[in-house]
Amino acid sequence: MRQLKGKRALITGAASGIGRAAALLFAHEGASIVSADIDAERGNEIVNEIERLDGKARFVKCDVTRADDCHNAVEQTVQAFGGLDILFNNAGIIVRQSVVELDETDWDRVMDVNVKSIFLMSKFAIPVMCSEGGGVIINTSSGWGVVGGPQAAAYCASKGAVVLLTRSMAIDFGPDGIRVNCICPGDTDTSMLRDEARQMRLQENEFMADAAIRPLGRIGTTEEIAQAALFLASEQSSFVTGTSLIVDGGGLA
């Protein structure tokens, strides 16, 4: 039996990486999907792929740092599918610099995309969920939201904020039947991870090999992280809220 049959899911950053994998997986498990992303071309591609598999999906162009766009994404979900059951706040960026190297513009951009976006999307999604008797919110943090990392000051600060924002929201809205959790992926094979190599001025193969140094001896796949998100979205985690699920091949062990 499909785990998300009849559910309506809004996924940010759905055009690529973990968001794309989650959109495909959630659709396979029976959910109707709204793919929200700033990249319209790839965002529509994932919709077309879901529809070719007889799933239901819509694309909404969304800059997750803008309140109007976030409000519109929630409204479009309700209009398309009649409600909203699952919000996956997945959009994120990374800048690999220390506080001395980092300029204010980059600091603000990282905090806006990684943290403010969760505030905005949740602000508009939660009233809809409350009116329907509950729902699920999943936020993407990082292993570096639990421990620090080098030359990633804004990223670490933002992902640490996601962990505590998740806990606060879980406390506030548990009585309304809304579960709020976050996933903390380790290094995962995405374009963002490969972009880090460029930012660090390292050869990509060298950077990826270093990232694989962990007990399981490899980096993660987007599909593996999506499976963790599916667990938190489904009834399999019905008594789980306010938690941070580390999915990193043992990297933090």
The token duo for 130 is: 């409350």
Q: Are 12 and 117 in contact (CB under 8 A)?
A: yes
Q: Quick one: CA dihedral 119, 120, 124, 129, positive or negative?
A: negative
Task: Please give the biggest Cα pair distance in the chain.
Answer: 53
> CA angle, 70 as apex, 9 and 86 as ends, to 5°?
20
Q: Is 155 a residue of the active site?
A: yes
Q: Tokens 């959009």 map to which residue?
A: 91
Q: Which residue in 26, 59, 124, 155 is the catalytic one?
A: 155
> CA angle, 218 as apex, 214 and 224 as ends, to 5°?
110
Query: Judging by beta carbons within 10 Å of its beta carbon (0-12, 13-18, 19+), is residue 209 exposed, middle or buried?
Result: exposed
Q: Are 252 and 246 in contact (CB under 8 A)?
A: yes
Please tell me the distance from the alpha carbon of residue 25 to that of residue 198, in angstroms, as a whole number: 30
Q: Are 18 and 190 in contact (CB under 8 A)?
A: yes
Please tell me the distance from the alpha carbon of residue 248 to that of residue 19, in angstroms, as a whole number: 17
Please tell me the distance from the alpha carbon of residue 44 to that of residue 27, in angstroms, as a whole number: 15
Q: Which residues are annotated as catalytic?
A: 155
